[in-house]
Amino acid sequence: MKLRAPLAVVLGRGSAGEGVAHWWSQRVTALALVPLTAWFLVSLCGVPLNDHASVSIWIGSGWNPLWLALLLLAMCAHSRLGVQVVIEDYVHAGAAKLTLLLVNSAAHAVLLAAGAYSLLRIALRNGA
Amino acid sequence: MHDRPLSPHLGIYRFMYTMTLSILHRISGVWMALGLVALVAWLCSAAAGESEYARTAAVLGSAFGKILLLSWLAAFCFHFANGLRHLAWDAGFGLEKRSARSSARVVVLAALLAFGIAAYLLFWPHASPP
């Protein structure tokens, strides 16, 4: 017996009316973060982190700004989705829940914008 | 609306160590969301200039900063290893009770090993990668 209306099947929506986009985005960003975070930690090992000049050169050299931008994008997306689920699971009051969800989205958008802008500044200063 | 039954009733389940990994995955994830703020602050200060960067490096290089960085590194190692376990589950592998329990042990061992190596390479004075 088929319990779902044809339209619901076509749209791929679940009982919450939301579909599986959130679930998929969380997995896709997780997969992207496997090589990106591993690359970040391994290449960070050789950089003297208290020296501004060396750090700037490392951030801006070669394809590093691109990998760092992708890392930042995947991190912000994955983090936003994850914190969103935690809020939805533990905060049930309507106003507080909505406020926290908005703050979560806004904070991650600001982090992404600030990080991307910083990467651009460093890369352009290095003459990329 | 308010007196509808809630599920699951966590209190009635017998404790199993896989539960610890489950909640640690959430805790480490939320903790790393705060680490993301520090990562972006680090990038911003590097873009701002030498004196701003020196201030950030001093904060992150202090004892308190090092404890924070090590805690984020530990959270990352665990979340990474357990995340791979979750991805395997999502692909349909390892869902049997026995394999879910043994993969939990593998995750803890792998996370500890990765944390030890990464902490040594990143934080030990004068350590340099091969």
Calculate helix-pair angle for B97-123, B63-90, nearest 10 degrees: 150
Query: Residue A122: its chain B contacts at CB < 8 A?
Result: 43, 46-47
User: Could you tell me if B29 and A85 are in contact, meaning their C-beta atoms sit under 8 angstroms apart?
Assistant: no
Low-confidence ranges of chain B (pLDDT < 70): 1-2, 6-8, 125-130
Q: Which residues of A touch B43 (CB under 8 A)?
A: 59, 68, 114-115, 118-119, 122
What is the ipTM score, two decimals? 0.88
Eight-state DSSP code of residue A62:
T
| Alpha carbon distance, N-terminus to C-terminus of chain A | 62
**How would residue A93 be classed by pLDDT, with cut points 50, 70 and 90?**
confident
| Closest Cα in chain B to A43 | B129
User: pLDDT, tens digit, for every residue of A107-119?
Assistant: 999 999 999 999 9
